[in-house]
Amino acid sequence: MTAQIIETNSMPWETADVDAVTVDIIENALRNVREEMDAVLFRTAMSPGIREQGDCFPMVANKDGKMVVGQFGSFIHGFMEAYDGDIEEGDIILTNDPYMCNAAVSHLPDWIVLVPVFNNGRHIAWSAMFGHMSDNGGMVPGSIPIKAETIYQEGIRIPPTKLYKKGVLQEDILELILHNVRTTEWNRFDLNALVAACRTASKRCVEIAERFGDEVFQTTMQIMLDRNLEAMRAIIQMFVPEEPSYFEDFVCDDGVGKGPYKIACTMWREGDVAIFDFEGTDPQAKSSINFYMNEEMFKMFFGSFTINLFDPHILFNDGFYELVDVRIPQGSLLKPNFPAALSGRTHALGRIFDVMGGVLGQGAPDAMNAAGFSDSPHLFYSGYDKKGEWFQLFQIGFGGIPGRPAGDGPDGHSLWPGFTNVPNEFIEAYFPLRIVKYEPIADSGGAGLHRGGNGLSVAYEFLVDGDIAIHDDRWLTYPWGVRGGDPGMRSTKRIERADGTEEWLPAKCDGVKVKEGDVLYFNTWGGGGWGNPLERDADLVAFDARRGVVSSDGAQRYGVVIAADGSVDTGATEKLRAEMAASKVDTGLFSRGGTIEEIKARSMEETHLPAPEAP
C-alpha cells in the first residue's frame, strides 16, 4: 500500500540554481513558518495541555515527506506507506492509530493532522502537526488506562481519514469521532486549531513558492536537507565508534506488578552509517507501557539528541536519515504485536533518551550527560464540581535535568525543550483544586562536579471529590550519574487524607478516589550528577545551600561543611573531603545506585512500595 498524490499540473520538476542569499531567505522564512504554526495553535486551542503546556509537534516537509523544519522530525513517511488511497488538493488527513500508520504516532491520544500543499495544481510540500488530546474515550478519563491489555480498551481508533475532502469538512465523520470522547468541546477546538496551524503553514509555503518559483523552493529545501546530512555525517564519524558499545536501562514497572523492563541497545558504525540494534530488549508487556517505536521515529530522536548535544545551531531536519540503521525486534517492548495496548508508552519513549545518552557517551565520555528527567509524568483529576459540571484535568509534571559537561542541570524542567508548565493560577481558576506547594526538592539532584537538577514537589489540594490517575516512573531505578557523579533521587507519590491518614501511591495507578480536603504530594525525580562531587567549588555548594536547593546535610555529599552563618567552614571541609576521597569507591563511568537486586531490596525503605516481580 502507498498513498497516491493526484496533481492537476504534472509539469516535470527541474533542479534550480539557487544562490546562498536566497537559501538563507527561504530557510529563515520556513523557520518562521514553524514558529507561526505554534502561535496559531496556542492562541486557538482550548485544552491546557496544548494551549498552556505546548504538547504538540509541528513540521513542514518537502513533497517527498522529509521534514525540513520542525520540532522532532517527520512522521509522513510511515503514513504514506500505510495509507491506501488518493490525496488531492484540499484534502486534510486525520489519524491517531499507531497500527494504521506504521507508528507515525505512538498512542491514541495524539491526533495528527496532515495537509498536502499544492501550488497551481503541483504538490510542493506538506504541513503537519499533532497534539495530545485531553481525552480519547476508553476505560478511564484521559484515555491512558494502566490495566489495558489491548488497544481496543484505550479509546477510539481513527484510521487515516479524510477529515476534509477537496476542502469540504466531513461533518458526519467529525461528529462520530467527537461522540466517543469525554471532552468533546476541547477536542473540537484543539482539532480545529491543529487544522488552522497546518493551513497557515500551507499558505506560507505557497507564498514562498510564488515569490521564488516552485523549483527554487524545492531545490532550497533539498539544500537544507543536504546541509543536515553533511553535518550529521561529520558528527557520526567523530562520535560513533566502529567497535560496538552496549547500554541498557529500565522502565521500572508496568503498573500491574511486573518489572523492571529492560531496554537494551548496541551501537556501532559501518562506514558513514550508525547502527542501533535493540536486540535484548524485553518482550512486550501485558499492560499499556509498550512503545511502538517506528524506526524513523528513533532516527528523529537520535538526530535531535546529537544535534542539541554537539551543535544546536545546526538546523534539525530529516536530511540525515540514510546515515542511520535501526533494528528493533518484533514482539518486544519497543515493537509490540497488534493489538497490544500502547497508551502508557511515555515511560519507554522517554527512557530511550537515557539509553541513547548511555550508548553514545561511551565513545565520548567528556561530552555525555547523566540520566535525567526522561519521562512526562501525568496527573489526571476528574469528576463533577460543585455546580454539577464535569471537569477533567490532564497535566504533565517536570523534574530534574541531568548534570552536563557544560554545567548543572536545571531544576524542575521538562524532558521536551518546548514544553512549559501550566501556570498554577490557570489550574486554580479552571479546576477545583488548590496548589499549596510548588518547589524544588532539595538534594534530589545527584551530587557531582556539576550537580543534577532537582525534582519538584507539587502539592495539590482537592476541593471536590473525584478520581485521580498517576503515570510516572523512576520510582524503582535511579537516574544514574556519570564520571563519579551520584544518582538522582527517585520519585514518590503520597496522599495526606483529610481524615489525617497517609497513603503512599504507586507510580502508575488510576481510579484512585480522593475526597475534598485530601492533598496529593506529587514528587518527581532529580537528574544524575556529572563528575566527582568533591571537585565542586565549595563556595558554589554554600550558595546552593543558601538558595535552598541543597540542604546543609546535603552539602556534605560534596564534602562541604556549612558554618552557622551560611559560609563554608574551610577547615572542616578540607578534613571531610580528605576522608571522603580516601574512602571513595570507583563506580566506573556510570553510577546506578547498585544492581537491580540491590535496588529492589531498598525499595520498601526508600519508596514505601514493594518491589515488582520480574516480568
> How many contiguous H segments (helices) and E segments (strands) does the chain have?
14, 24
**DSSP per-residue string spanning 64-125:** TS-EEEESS---HHHHHHH--SEE-TT-EEEE--GGGTTTSSSSTTEEEEEEEEEETTEEEE
Q: What is the pLDDT of residues 501-531, one digit of tens each?
A: 999 999 999 999 999 999 999 999 999 999 9
| DSSP type of residue 365 | G
Residue 536 has pLDDT above 80, yes or no: yes
Residue 451 has pLDDT above 80, yes or no: yes
* Cα–Cα dist 567/548, whole Å: 14
Q: pLDDT-based confidence at 1, cuts 50/70/90? A: low
**DSSP per-residue string spanning 278-322:** -TTPPBPPSSTT-----HHHHHHHHHHHHHHHH-TTSPP-STTGG
Give pLDDT, residue 432. 98
Residue 363 has pLDDT above 60, yes or no: yes
Give pLDDT, residue 501. 97
Q: pLDDT-based confidence at 416, cuts 50/70/90? A: confident
* Cα–Cα dist 604/150, whole Å: 31
Q: What is the pLDDT of residues 252-278, one digit of tens each?
A: 999 999 999 999 999 999 999 999 999
Cα angle 126, 190, 55; round to 5: 75
Q: Which helix (H) or strand (E) holds 354?
A: helix 346-361
- φ/ψ of 8, rounded to 5, equals -95, -10
- Inter-residue contact 553 to 561 (CB < 8 Å): no
* Cα–Cα dist 470/472, whole Å: 6
Lowest mean pLDDT among 114-118, 126-130, 517-521, 582-586: 582-586
Residue 308 has pLDDT above 80, yes or no: no
> What b/e string do you get for 169-182 counting C-beta neighbours within 10 Å, with b at 16 or more?
eeeebbeebbebbb
Q: pLDDT-based confidence at 607, cuts 50/70/90? A: confident
In the chain, the percentage of residues whose pLDDT exceeds 70 is: 99
Q: In whole angstroms, how far apart are CA 96 and each of 177, 336, 376?
A: 11, 17, 19
Mean pLDDT of the 437-454 span: 97
* Cα–Cα dist 225/14, whole Å: 17
Cα angle 131, 330, 160; round to 5: 35
Give pLDDT, residue 310. 72
